[in-house]
Amino acid sequence: MVSLILPPRKRKIAAWPSAWPAEFPSTKRLAGGDCAAMSENLFDLSGEVAVVIGATGALGGACALAMAKAGARVAVAGRNAERGEARVQEIADAGGQAQFFACDAMDPASLKSCHEAVGQALGAPTVLLNAAGGNHPDAVVTPEMPFEKIPLSGWAKVFDLNLVGGLLLPCQEFGPAMCGRGRGSIINIASVTSHLPLSKVIAYSASKAAVLSATRFLAREWATKGVRVNSITPGFFPAEQNRKLLFNEDGTPSDRAKVIFGHTPMGRFGDSSELAGAAVYLASEKAASFVTGSDIVVDGGFLSTTI
């Protein structure tokens, strides 16, 4: 009887890195046998110029502070000069370098002026973090306003906040310049509602789903131009735009907050500082050079829970 089992092929594997295909010239390789590069600080952002739009808010501010601590020169970009200067002072007190730049993420002319001013003061931006966004009561489902009664104007306001000002216009302004220089990292802020629509906040959920989709689109478009585009999905972090939903007037957790706690394995809200590590990682060319089109979830396990 003739056996149909073939003997294993003997294949000679060349030593690293000479076996790496020569047709991939842009691939980064360690020198043969040299692991010294791995001992460097992968999260060192020295030499980076990070523009954080919405750094006047809690989540954007925490990310701006962390990037500055990691060595980046940070442009605190926003509409509120008083809060912006306070953030700059906070960063300075922590030993970082930052400067406030007036910027309206909904205004292309304002974004262009901000871009030019940052370039002159701090250098060409290499990191863009889009932390502008929010919700609007005109687009929240309530007993008095069911889904079918939501006005188009309310829907548009939320999409303008999260998709137009939170991604489209800033990426149109800063992205092409990064592509022209051949490097850059863009970080967008998604949401757990990008993955699972939450009750009541229909327009917010839909707009954040669009942010996740657009992030992946840009990651594909700009990957060959040296620009990485990723997103972060925060879980529930108390902030100005959601405080009324999460807390009663006396400061106790609302019924909705209790439901969130029950659905979050860690059983609590996140602190803004817990989002910062993901931002530093995605900003770092050393740590995340092959990471694009990814979404990092920082939610205490919320999205991993079903029944």
Is-catalytic flag, 204?
A: yes
Strands of the sheet containing 227-234, edge to edge, are: 97-102, 73-78, 49-53, 127-130, 184-189, 227-234, 295-298
Contact 59, 132 (CB under 8 A): no
The three-point CA angle 298-303-307 to 5° equals 145
Spot the catalytic one: 43, 101, 204, 237.
204
Rounded CA separation 77/166 (Å) = 13
Residue 63 sits at φ, ψ, to 5 deg, of: -70, -40
Contact 174, 186 (CB under 8 A): yes
Exposure of 247 by Cβ count < 10 A (0-12 exposed, 13-18 middle, 19+ buried)? middle
* Euclidean distance between CA atoms 262 and 256, whole angstroms: 10
Under 8 Å between Cβ of 170 and 128: yes
CA atoms of 229 and 293, how far apart (whole Å)? 6
The CA distance from 21 to 17, in Å, is 9
Asked whether the CA dihedral 146, 147, 149, 153 is positive or negative, the reply is positive
Q: Which residues are catalytic?
A: 204
